[in-house]
Structure 1
Amino acid sequence: MKSLFLFLCCFISSVFFSQQKEEFKLVKSYYNQHRSMLNTEFKKKFDAETGNFQKASIKQDFLFFMKKMDSIENVALIGALLKIKNTEDLSRLQLENKTISPEKAPDIFPITDKSADYPGGINALRKEVAHLFYIDGVLSETKIVKATVAFIVEKDGTISNVEAQGDNFTFNRQAQIALYSLSEKFSPAIINGDPVRYRFKLPLTMSFE
């Protein structure tokens, strides 16, 4: 059995802005729609059967198809992640080549009057990341895998520039997808009454039991 443990802290760093979440929303909306259609069709078939054996067989088929759907959706989310990372890399290159002047790049402030917060607080953030994490997408020969995920909360409460550092590439990738897939915006960090960019660090640990 795999289980995911989340620990949260924050730190400040400088990185270039890029808004990304829409890619993940579109993928999730598409596959949730197909899950709903499958659920409806299987329920009709299940309700039409009278024998317990047939009902059990239909239930097993349903679980199999849903598991396959999760896997296919994850492939699509990996594609969205690659597209986003390419966009971020291009933005960094533009900044380095001074296509975008450095003085126009928004700063991330080391001290704030109010830190960025997720709706419901840290525990709500942990719970949602754990829910969004596709555990079957992690391949590991060790019993415990770890990564540290850093991301920026922008002035409008969206997140960008999610980076995961750890020894297991598949774990890093799923961690980034989970963070980009968060359903809610943060309340931004505040200095002198104005929203500012703020960066979190989120250590993740998964155990295989």
Structure 2
Amino acid sequence: MNLSFAQQNDEFKSAKDYFDYQRFMLNSEFKRKFDNEKDITQKIAIKKDFSEFMVKLDSIQNTAFIGTLIKVKNREDLEKINVKNLPELRLNPKKEDLNKEAQYPGGFETLRKQIADLFYTDSVLPDQKLLKTNVVFVVEKDGSIANVQAQGENFTFNRQAEIAMYLLPEKFSPAIINGTPVRYRFRLPLSMSFD
């Protein structure tokens, strides 16, 4: 279980744990009710109620994640004010100085798939069939990510991309210079098609 939460910061982990527990409790209660019901019409109604509850829970969870994102971004912005961190954040090692670039376990395809799986698409009301954003973030020396900023035309799509990044289940392997892990700014273009 520890590996699945390796990347998530404490705020996102806490929110996710809370809603996972609520989902588990609702699932158990509806299953018990469904199993005890003999009437097929009532079973269908219970199944429908369960689906509606889960959709509402997903929406409430997303609202909590947005609040968590605001809290995390505010904290990161306050940390940037600390003058000794500013030069390190601005500098990105030159590719020729790197012994190893920062990498996500399984590579870019795994990263993109996990982001898509974590993405709450119901919050995005696209006026276009294809939405794009560029996500810029810092891979820290320990492989965690920070300072996630998504830039694209759709504000909601950008926020959902940032939330998905903070919820990634794995850490990156950090960039290495002369055998020492270094902070590294990363850019990841994302796009999603909506039908």
TM superposition outliers: structure 1 runs of 4+ over 4 Å: 101-107
CA pair 57-20 structure 1, distance change in 2 beyond 3 A: closer
Q: Are 1:199 and 2:191 counterparts? A: no
Match of 2:93 in 1: 109
Q: Are 1:91 and 2:42 counterparts? A: no
CA pair 116-101 structure 1, distance change in 2 beyond 3 A: closer
For residue 26 of structure 2, what is the amino acid of its counterpart?
Answer: L
Report the count of equivalent residues.
187
Q: Tell me by how many angstroms 1:165 deviates.
A: 0.4
Match of 1:159 in 2: 145
Q: Structure 2: how far apart are the matches of 1:33 and 1:118?
A: 28
Match of 1:186 in 2: 172
Judge conservation of contact 1:162–1:176 (CA < 8 Å) in 2. yes
Q: Structure 2: how far apart are the matches of 1:155 and 1:168?
A: 31
Q: Are 1:57 and 2:45 counterparts? A: yes
* Among candidates 112, 115, 123, match of residue 109 of structure 2: 123
1:122-181 CA-to-partner distances (Å, cap 9, x unmatched) read 222111101100001112222222111111111101000100000110000000000011
CA pair 106-163 structure 1, distance change in 2 beyond 3 A: closer
Which has the larger displacement, 168-177 or 85-94? Answer: 85-94
CA pair 77-47 structure 1, distance change in 2 beyond 3 A: same
1:62-101 CA-to-partner distances (Å, cap 9, x unmatched) read 1110110110011111011111111122222333xxxx37
Other structure's SS at 1:152 match = strand
CA pair 39-180 structure 1, distance change in 2 beyond 3 A: same
CA RMSD of aligned residues (A): 1.9
Q: Structure 2: how far apart are the matches of 1:75 and 1:128?
A: 20
Q: Structure 2: how far apart are the matches of 1:157 and 1:104?
A: 16
Judge conservation of contact 1:147–1:165 (CA < 8 Å) in 2. yes
CA pair 141-90 structure 1, distance change in 2 beyond 3 A: same
**Matched residues, percent identical?**
57
Other structure's SS at 2:106 match = coil
CA pair 169-102 structure 1, distance change in 2 beyond 3 A: closer
Judge conservation of contact 1:117–1:187 (CA < 8 Å) in 2. yes
Other structure's SS at 1:160 match = strand
Runs of at least 5 residues in structure 1 that lack an aligned partner in the other structure? 1-18
Q: Point out which structure has higher relative CO (alpha carbons under 8 A, 6+ apart).
A: 1
Match of 1:47 in 2: 35
Runs of at least 5 residues in structure 2 that lack an aligned partner in the other structure? 1-6
Q: Tell me by how many angstroms 1:102 deviates.
A: 5.0
For residue 38 of structure 2, what is the amino acid of its counterpart?
Answer: T
